[in-house]
């Protein structure tokens, strides 16, 4: 059905690169989808943009100890989801960093890893106030277009041997205009189990609230049937991210 509507078929993916502003965004936004893809044999790779230190609840914890806890939580959650590899850029959480350096780093990983799909948060979400989310989503969107332009340099040796290829689709979570509903009923509990590892940035009350809000987003009530859970995603081909006035509604 997706391919008939011009929407790239995510189930045909072989390797996906999931670029998130913070250590928990991929799992909160698309953890059920990613776990499903992993179980189908897709290679799942995470690239985290910031160091996440600003969001740590315990203000008495040193940056060193906080960083260690964040990484351990992310790795444990990743094992539950089925993440094959993880990379970190270490930009300052909620801080000052150069957008074009961020874009360069993302293009570097695209050229190095050659994923056929990119996942990230939708930078065009209305009322999104967190600049890390906006910058990350925009940088991934640009990278999907610019990675094949060999005159754009990111790293000498990598640039020299890079052979351009086609990215099949960009997958946006936290989106206001989804065009795909991905059934995660079988992986719903696994997704929520993974999210439970993110304790550094959530109090117990905040974690309970997060689960409750996700339940509202994911649950599709069906009278007289077992509950069904979905994740709503926006999947587009990279060429639809430049000069296409109808992409928002397609």
Q: What is the CA radius of gyration of the chain?
A: 18
For residue 245, being part of any structural domain is answered with no
For residue 184, being part of any structural domain is answered with yes
For residue 249, being part of any structural domain is answered with no
CATH number at residue 133: 3.40.50.10320
For residue 73, being part of any structural domain is answered with yes
Q: Return the bridge partners of 46, or none.
A: 18, 86
For residue 250, being part of any structural domain is answered with no
C-alpha dist (Å) from residue 122 to 98, 155, 178, 220: 19, 27, 10, 22
Contact predicate 95/101, CB 8 Å: no
CA atoms within 13 A on the CB side of 78: 19
For residue 136, being part of any structural domain is answered with yes
Contact predicate 17/119, CB 8 Å: yes
User: What pLDDT is stored for residue 4 in this prediction?
Assistant: 43
Return per-residue pLDDT of the chain as tens, 250 residues: 354 458 999 999 999 999 999 999 999 999 999 999 999 999 999 999 999 999 999 999 999 999 999 999 999 999 999 999 999 999 999 999 999 999 999 999 999 999 999 999 999 999 999 999 999 999 999 999 999 999 999 999 999 999 999 999 999 999 999 999 999 999 999 999 999 999 999 999 999 999 999 999 999 987 777 899 999 999 999 999 999 999 999 8
What is the rounded distance in angstroms from the CA atom of residue 198 to the CA atom of residue 224?
35
Q: Return the bridge partners of 91, or none.
A: 50
pTM beyond 0.85:
yes
What is the rounded distance in angstroms from the CA atom of residue 59 to the CA atom of residue 62?
8
- Specify the 3-state DSSP secondary structure of 102: helix
Exposed/middle/buried for residue 226 (C-beta within 10 Å: 0-12, 13-18, 19+): exposed
Q: Based on the structure, what is the number of domains in the chain?
A: 1
For residue 139, being part of any structural domain is answered with yes
For residue 223, being part of any structural domain is answered with yes
Residue position matching structure tokens 């000052």: 96
The residue range of the domain holding 182 is 3-240
């Amino acid at each position: 059905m997706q391919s008939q509507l011009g929407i790239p078929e995510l189930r045909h993916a072989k390797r996906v690169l999931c670029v998130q502003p913070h250590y928990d965004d991929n799992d909160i936004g698309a953890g059920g989808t990613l776990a499903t893809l992993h179980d189908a044999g897709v290679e799942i790779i995470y690239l985290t943009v910031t160091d996440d230190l600003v969001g740590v609840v315990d203000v008495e914890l040193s940056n060193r100890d906080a960083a260690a806890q964040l990484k351990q939580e992310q790795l444990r959650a990743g094992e539950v989801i089925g993440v094959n590899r993880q990379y970190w850029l270490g930009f300052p959480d909620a801080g000052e960093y150069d957008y074009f350096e961020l874009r360069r780093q993302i293009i570097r990983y695209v050229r190095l890893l050659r994923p056929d799909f990119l996942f990230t948060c939708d930078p065009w979400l209305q009322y999104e106030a967190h600049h890390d989310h906006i910058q990350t989503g925009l940088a991934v969107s640009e990278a999907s277009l610019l990675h094949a332009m060999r005159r754009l340099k990111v790293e000498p040796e990598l640039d020299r041997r890079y052979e351009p290829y086609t990215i099949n689709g960009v997958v946006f979570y936290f989106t206001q205009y989804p065009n795909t509903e991905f059934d995660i009923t079988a992986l719903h509990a696994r997704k929520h189990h993974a999210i439970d590892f993110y304790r550094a940035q959530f109090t117990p009350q905040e974690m309970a609230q997060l689960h409750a809000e996700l339940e509202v987003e994911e649950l599709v009530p069906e009278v007289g049937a077992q509950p069904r859970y979905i994740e709503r995603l926006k999947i587009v081909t990279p060429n639809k991210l430049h000069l296409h006035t109808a992409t928002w509604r397609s």
